[in-house]
Structure 1
Amino acid sequence: MSHPAHLFALGFGSGLAWFLPGTFGTLLGWLLYVWMDPHLQDAQWALVILGAFALGAVCCQMTGKALGVIDHGGIVWDEIVAIWVVLLVASAQFQSPLAQLGCVLLFRFFDMVKPPPIRWFDRHWKNGFGVMFDDIVAAFMTLLTLAVYTHFVH
């Protein structure tokens, strides 16, 4: 935590968990979403997410360089921002805490398994932007799956 960028990249310490740091980062992101959502309209959320993505690209680059691994497991700002995207877009259909938990678990599945095209971005874009972007792709895959589920099941 020698630089403020590390504070963000490491998810305010949630990425320092000794196991499943990405899950702890995602859970922090969910908690922050629940805390901030009553105070933000969709347009404000869009600005927060865009700003957090840009900040994350810089902070993740700096922290990855300092740690010697550009996409170090402790860097979880990407999970935090991506789960905000999922919860914001899915909130109309998935409002209850249990439904939100389902969204979180589905996102974690895509983020951990990294099916194509997520894996391609994870392997080829080795910089702060890439660290952030592959999780946005995982968020998109989560939302696509939720849309298909909603269309065919509900």
Structure 2
Amino acid sequence: MSGIDILPRKALSLRFLFSHPAHFVACGFGSGLSPLAPGTAGTLLAWVLFLPLRAWLGDAQLAGLLAVCFALGVPAVQKTGADLGAVDHGSIVWDEIVPFWLVLLCCPPGWAWQGAAFLLFRFFDIVKPQPARYFDTQVKNAFGVMADDLFAACYAILVLAIVQFFGV
């Protein structure tokens, strides 16, 4: 498959997913193959995976892991986007997973807070307020793909912090 081939979502398969380690990572271990709302599926997977990560790692270790996952995610997203013919193909969900882990790391404990974090992150990821929109529309590479969701995460964290501060 060359970088100019464009695969529609329905053509993606487990064969593609396992054809290269970058595809497996960028497609969120398969969650990006969801026929409905792959970004939401990736974010839900992130939530599920975060629970054992949180139990095993302290804050500093988890923050370090997130930095490594972001840095290694850029080339994985680049390779997968090139193979799919679209830098921000819908099946690429690593850009949802790592930033949502950051939101959960900064989130107060409890299911209600985590549920609110999920909804806020998905809202800001879809709406893409600036500068997320800039990275989404103007930075057409894997870093831009990852960065726009990082800004969505920052907005979600900010709202959670404000709500927690004011005790709303």
TM-score, structure 2 as length reference: 0.87
- 2: CA distance, partners of 1:57 / 1:153: 37
Where 2:86 maps in the other structure, the secondary structure is: coil
Q: How does 1:90-129 map to 2 (within 5 A)?
A: 90=107, 93=108, 95-129=109-143
Deviation for aligned residue 1:151: 2.4
Q: CA deviation at 1:35?
A: 1.7
1:85 and 2:102 aligned: yes
Instruction: Between the two structures, name the one with larger relative contact order (CA 8 Å, sep ≥ 6).
Output: 1
Residue 161 of structure 2 is matched in structure 1 by 147
Q: In the TM superposition, what is the alpha-carbon distance from 1:102 to its structure 2 partner?
A: 1.1
2:86 matched residue in structure 1? 69
Deviation of 1:49 after TM superposition, in Å, equals 0.3
**1:22-42 deviations in Å (ceiling 9; x for gaps):** 000000000010121110011
**Is 1:21 the equivalent of 2:35?**
no
Matched with 2:147 is 133
Provide the aligned length of Structure 1 versus Structure 2: 151
Unaligned 5+ segments in structure 2 are 1-16
- Residue 59 in structure 1 maps to residue 76 in structure 2: yes
Query: Equivalent residue of 1:70, what SS?
Result: coil
Question: What displacement does 1:98 show?
Answer: 2.5
Deviation string, structure 1 residues 39-78 (Cα, Å, up to 9, x no partner): 0011111111011001110100000000000001110001
Letter in 1 for 2:102: V
- Letter of the 1:116 counterpart: Q
CA distance in 2, matches of 1:114, 1:66: 26
Over the matched positions of the two proteins, sequence identity in percent amounts to: 52
Runs of 4+ in 1 over 6 A off after TM superposition: none
Q: TM-score, normalised by structure 1?
A: 0.94
Q: Which protein is bigger by CA-based radius of gyration?
A: 2
| Matched position secondary structure for 1:24 | helix
- Deviation of 1:152 after TM superposition, in Å, equals 2.6
